Amino acid sequence: MSDRIFGIFGLLLAIGFAFAAFTIEESFLSDAVGPKAFPLIVATILGLSSLVIALRPDAEPDWPALRRLVEVVSAVVVMALYAKLLPVAGFVIATALAATYLSWRLGSPLVGAIATGFGTSIGIYVVFHLVLGLSLARGPLGF
């Protein structure tokens, strides 16, 4: 029963996402595909996946223990805080903190999680900002 609820929720979310994508205004300078293509592809994949989950649910899914559910909720909270912290702290610092926490919760020792968090943050910064020239949120240190 919970799979059907999850599938229906995902399907409704996909429909809402598709409607939101259709409200995107196209500029005369846009490319041939346009800005609506990617959101519509995501909505289609989400809708089809949710439909499969709703129509072919598991017999009775095994729910994780309360401790695991708390960890999942804490990861969601960290990602929400990451979104709030990004414009304030900047991409490098916010990403390093979020990646460190998530690496640690996935089982890395603390020192390894810190190295992974900062390595991930700096690596993404180098590729996306320095190599590809994309704009990332600047922090108080200027990067």
Q: Running along the chain, 143 residues long, what does each successive block of 10 average in pLDDT?
A: 87 93 76 76 94 86 84 94 92 95 94 95 92 84 74
Scored b (16 or more CB within 10 A) or e, 53-65 reads bbeebeeeeeeee
pTM beyond 0.75: the answer is no
- 104 contacts 110 by C-beta, under 8 angstroms: yes
Q: Is 90 left (phi over 0), alpha (psi -120 to 50) or beta?
A: left
The whole-number pLDDT of residue 76 equals: 94
Query: pLDDT at position 26, please?
Result: 75
- How much is the pLDDT for 119? 96
What is 28-60 written as a DSSP string?
TT--SS-TTHHHHHHHHHHHHHHHHHHHS--SS
Give residue 28's pLDDT: 67
Residues in contact with 53: Cβ distance below 8 Å, sequence separation at least 6, in sequence order: 3, 4, 6, 7, 10
pLDDT of residue 30: 62
